[in-house]
Amino acid sequence: MAKTTKILIVKPRGLGDVVLSTIVLKNLKANFDNVTIDYLTEKFAKPVLLFNPYINQIFTFPDNFFELIKLIKVLFNKNYDYIFDFYSNPRTAFLTFLIRGKVKLGYDKRGRRYAYDVKVRMEDPNLHSALAHIEFLKKIKLKIESEEILYYITNEEIEFAKNFFKNNSLSNNYVAIVPGGGWSSKRCEPKKFVEFCKAINKKFNYKFLILYGDDDSKDAEEIYTSIPEISHLAGKTSIRQMVALISQCKATIANDSGPMHLSAAIKVPTLGIFGPTNPYAHAPFGKNCSFVRKDDLECIQCNLLVCPRNHECMLELDANEVVNEFSKIVLHNRYEN
């Protein structure tokens, strides 16, 4: 029997970054006859990895120091052949250093190089963050056969989503709207989403399913109350329920966020709204995906968590530009199918 190659992937956060890291899974399976792949992530990110047949076991960072010591012992005794630290912050670097492994790979960053046998330097700031993971595999001469992001929806989740549409008398003519975002500067204002929805409804006659998490309910409600005749407020859902609902939609419009990447991962046409972050590195990843941003601003792509100005990157974004880019991804999806 062929020797089992044991691999650990370290990717604690965020939701979008974790799901983008799954681009390596099919490639790892293709390069080793017998391989088991474990993940180490944060508890909140674990749901996006569930039910993935390429993953053997998911470990999560514990809440206290003593549980962390226990986890390190468990991982140490696994004796991994490869440890990929796709996050490479001080904590994950130190953890990688402590865990026994034959080959350890991480980003070539100051103060963390000690932890890795193979350091991966990213020369191109516009390289998409999904493809950055592929660079790790190339460093150890693995063949690349896939650029697919992997997320698996269960039959029960699909049934939940279909029942939701049926019970709320929703047609199959809805577009998902996700107004949330990790930084306040990444969140497009509700009134702008209302503009986009009205313009898209006028052109395509689509209606809108507004999805939100704990921190986004106020924005979601503002959008809904502005256009109740063409929208439906989903109510609070888990992240996996949200993805299941998105799977039943024609397309998704979202800020740069985890749900944006999850929508793209399940191959729903996805349009990202960008301002402070780099869309070339962080746009939704897929053939039927795109982004919009106001390129003529001198402060565009500022990478600031909070806008010190008047949020012009969002408030001055032209609805016609959004409609035009949205049209491209929807028409592309029709052609592909």
| Amino acid, res. 239 | I
CB 120 within 8 A of CB 140: no
Percent of the chain as helix, strand, coil, to the nearest 5: 45, 15, 40
User: What residues form DSSP beta bridges with 8?
Assistant: 38, 83
- Domain boundary residue, one of 139, 172, 189: 139
- Whether 164 and 285 map to the same domain: the answer is yes
What is the Cα–Cα distance from 268 to 134, expressed in whole angstroms?
A: 23
Residue with tokens 């206290």: 64
- Whether 135 and 199 map to the same domain: the answer is no
Average pLDDT over residues 77-99: 97
Q: Is residue 146 part of a domain?
A: no
Show Cβ contacts of residue 65 under 8 Å, excluding neighbours closer than 6 positions: none
Q: What is the overall mean pLDDT for the chain?
A: 95
Predicted local confidence at residue 11, as pLDDT:
98
- Whether 230 and 283 map to the same domain: the answer is yes
Average pLDDT over residues 110-119: 96
Q: Is residue 149 part of a domain?
A: no
Residue with tokens 């301002």: 275
Q: Is residue 289 part of a domain?
A: yes
| Model confidence band, residue 337 (pLDDT cutoffs 50, 70, 90) | very low
Average pLDDT over residues 229-247: 96
**Of 227, 225, 266, which is closest to residue 245 (Cα–Cα)?**
266
- Domain boundary residue, one of 114, 139, 164: 139
User: What residues form DSSP beta bridges with 20?
Assistant: none
pTM: 0.95
With a pLDDT cut of 70, the percent of the chain lying above it is 98
- Domain boundary residue, one of 139, 170, 193: 139
Residue 305: which CATH number?
Answer: 3.40.50.2000
Average pLDDT over residues 174-179: 97
Taking only the tens place, the pLDDT of each residue in 194-211 is 999 999 999 999 999 999
- Whether 208 and 305 map to the same domain: the answer is yes
**Of 98, 78, 91, 119, which is closest to residue 11 (Cα–Cα)?**
91
Range of the domain at 16: 5-139
Query: Number of C-alpha atoms within 13 angstroms, CB side, residue 284?
Result: 33
- Whether 169 and 90 map to the same domain: the answer is no
What is the Cα–Cα distance from 53 to 70, expressed in whole angstroms?
A: 26
- Whether 50 and 195 map to the same domain: the answer is no
Lowest-pLDDT choice from 139-148, 207-216, 256-265: 207-216
CB 212 within 8 A of CB 190: no
With a pLDDT cut of 90, the percent of the chain lying above it is 92
Q: Is residue 36 part of a domain?
A: yes
Average pLDDT over residues 325-337: 76
Taking only the tens place, the pLDDT of each residue in 117-132 is 999 999 899 999 999 9
Q: Is residue 147 part of a domain?
A: no
Predicted local confidence at residue 335, as pLDDT:
47
What is the Cα–Cα distance from 249 to 172, expressed in whole angstroms?
A: 7
Q: Is residue 150 part of a domain?
A: no
- Whether 170 and 256 map to the same domain: the answer is yes
- Whether 48 and 108 map to the same domain: the answer is yes
Residue 324: count of CB within 10 angstroms of its CB? 14
Q: Is residue 115 part of a domain?
A: yes
- Whether 184 and 129 map to the same domain: the answer is no
- Whether 178 and 298 map to the same domain: the answer is yes
String of DSSP letters for 316-335: T--HHHHHHHHHHHHHHHHH
Q: Is residue 185 part of a domain?
A: yes
DSSP for residue 237 = -
How many domains are contained in the chain?
2
Taking only the tens place, the pLDDT of each residue in 11-64 is 998 899 999 999 999 999 999 999 999 999 999 999 999 999 999 999 999 999
Residue with tokens 């604690």: 12
Predicted local confidence at residue 116, as pLDDT:
98
Predicted local confidence at residue 334, as pLDDT:
56
Q: Is the pLDDT of residue 266 over 70?
A: yes
**Of 250, 297, 275, 302, which is closest to residue 192 (Cα–Cα)?**
275
| SS3 assignment for 201-219 | HHHHCCEEEECCCCCCHHH
Residue 243: count of CB within 10 angstroms of its CB? 28
- Whether 281 and 184 map to the same domain: the answer is yes
- Whether 194 and 132 map to the same domain: the answer is no
